[in-house]
Structure 1
Amino acid sequence: MSTLAELKNELQQLASPKQQQILQGFFKTGKGEYGEGDIFLGIKVPVQRKLAKKYQALSLTDIQALLQSNLHEYRFTALILLITHYKKADNHKKSKLFDFYLHNTKHINNWDLVDISAPHIVGDYLLDKPREILYQLARSSSLWEKRIAMIATMTFIKNNEFQDCLQLAEILLDDEHDLIHKAVGWMLREVGKRDQMIEEQFLNKYYKQMPRTMLRYAIEKFDDDKRKFYLKKSQASK
């Protein structure tokens, strides 16, 4: 049986100093930036996914050990493994894995880690359950918990359930961080792809408050005239 030590060894062997430098800059790991202190080995995502498939039998204890690492690819691979466990689990086990995820949000601490995992675990688990936890996360002081709350709604949106996305977007309208502006705008855009009228009702109510980046993301799929209309309205309101 493959072991955690073997997985770590394979990841280390795949490290690329050139790719590491690119990723360290792309994910803003410098002092004072959102990813400060995050360390990359420089491994591309498809390679990590392939490796995670090979080691999918690793235990939850092993996944926890990977998640606690300061190496980004260890945490990324841990989340791919966690999603694999979740998809194969019965309802009782899914509940435990959902709780495990929420207890480890401090390690899910870059936007790619949130985006690959929140819809598949948090969103999926809450699809047929009360969703108060998302509102707690949205009001958290943690940038990543707020993004988890927003990105988790992708699963609801794909099931044509838009209310939580809109309510969470309202809570996060005045957030100061660019990564939240992008997350909210992205999810609003996903709503609009399925029902543009509902998205426009939200925009018409809140465009004056929306940060420019959030608005740009939200209207990205609109036709040129409509995009210009909202951007001009927004500019005029400042």
Structure 2
Amino acid sequence: MSALQADLRAHATAEDREKTTARLPEGYPVIGVRMKTLFDVAKAHSGMPLDEVSALFDEPEYEARLAAVCVLDIKARAARLPADDRRALCELYLARHDRIDTWDMVDRAAPRVVGQYLMDRPHDPLFTLARSANPHERRTAITAPLYWARYGTPAHLPDLFRLAEALLGDDDVVVAKPVGIALKYAGVLDEPALLSFLETHAARMRRPALRYAVEKLAPAQRSKYGPGR
């Protein structure tokens, strides 16, 4: 057992085990650690080598794997992280994606670990994920580009819109909501580009996606769009 795992277990309580179990799929193994404590533990162990992070993904418990993506995210936030190290983080995330199987694991790490690394590189891995049968891999495909919308320029957005278009018909709520969120932040950076996208695609967008996509538009602009499908 790693030091991080031991630390998590030392902070486990029956109350937190019950709360965590209630919001996860039935039968999902948990340790029982509140989220703030988990983040603090991950931060305290963020210097752990990547082979130990990878080993955490082999653990059955939710908190161990969530801690693994938290460590990746913390490492990716280092201001002067060498490109090779950033690549290693992204590659580990993608290689172990079969063990990243809740929406919050994706959201915790995809923007900085995957999106930041790929922002000025080919985006082929995201288009591959967008075609995956795994809804959490599809969520990564559209959540990673949030980094481009928040920290990039309008020149970084065309592939975000292409990924959103590829996922417009996705019926899984794990995917539909983040499609709308990605479009919303793309619109903050380049509102004319979002309006152009909506002009073409709003009629066939899923309701959750459309609701989030128009959230930051002026009321008069929002009223032009129906509830979606």
TM-score (norm 2): 0.89
Q: Counterparts of 1:109 and 1:179 in 2: how far apart (Å)?
A: 11
Q: Counterparts of 1:167 and 1:77 in 2: how far apart (Å)?
A: 31
2:64 is aligned with 1:67 = no
After TM superposition, list the pairs within 5 Å mapping 1:72-151 onto structure 2: 72-88=62-78, 89-151=81-143
Question: How much has 1:87 moved relative to structure 2?
Answer: 4.4
Question: How much has 1:103 moved relative to structure 2?
Answer: 0.7
Question: How much has 1:135 moved relative to structure 2?
Answer: 0.6
Q: Counterparts of 2:40 and 2:223 in 1: how far apart (Å)?
A: 43
Question: How much has 1:73 moved relative to structure 2?
Answer: 1.0
Tell me if structure 2 keeps the 8 A contact 1:150–1:183. Answer: yes
- Which residue of 204, 221, 235 corresponds with 2:216? 221
Tell me if structure 1 keeps the 8 A contact 2:38–2:67. Answer: yes
| Count of residues paired in the alignment | 224
TM-score (norm 1): 0.86
Change (3 A) 1:128 1:78: same
For structure 1, the residue ranges without an aligned partner over 5 or more in a row are 31-36
Report the secondary structure of 1:109's partner residue: coil
Which letter does structure 1 place at the counterpart of 2:130? Answer: A
Question: How much has 1:162 moved relative to structure 2?
Answer: 1.3
For structure 2, the residue ranges without an aligned partner over 5 or more in a row are none
1:114-155 deviation per Cα after TM superposition (whole angstroms, max 9, x unaligned): 011011111111122111111111011111111111001011
Identity among equivalent positions (%) equals: 29
Q: CA RMSD in A?
A: 1.9
After TM superposition, list the pairs within 5 Å mapping 1:1-238 onto structure 2: 5-27=2-24, 29-30=25-26, 37-88=27-78, 89-158=81-150, 159-160=152-153, 161-231=156-226, 234=228
Tell me if structure 2 keeps the 8 A contact 1:17–1:41. Answer: no
Which letter does structure 1 place at the counterpart of 2:192? Answer: M
Q: Counterparts of 1:93 and 1:10 in 2: how far apart (Å)?
A: 26
Tell me if structure 1 keeps the 8 A contact 2:136–2:174. Answer: no
Question: How much has 1:167 moved relative to structure 2?
Answer: 0.2
Q: Counterparts of 1:21 and 1:198 in 2: how far apart (Å)?
A: 45
Change (3 A) 1:225 1:25: farther
Of residues 141-150 and 37-46 in structure 1, the stretch that sits farther from structure 2 once superposed is 37-46
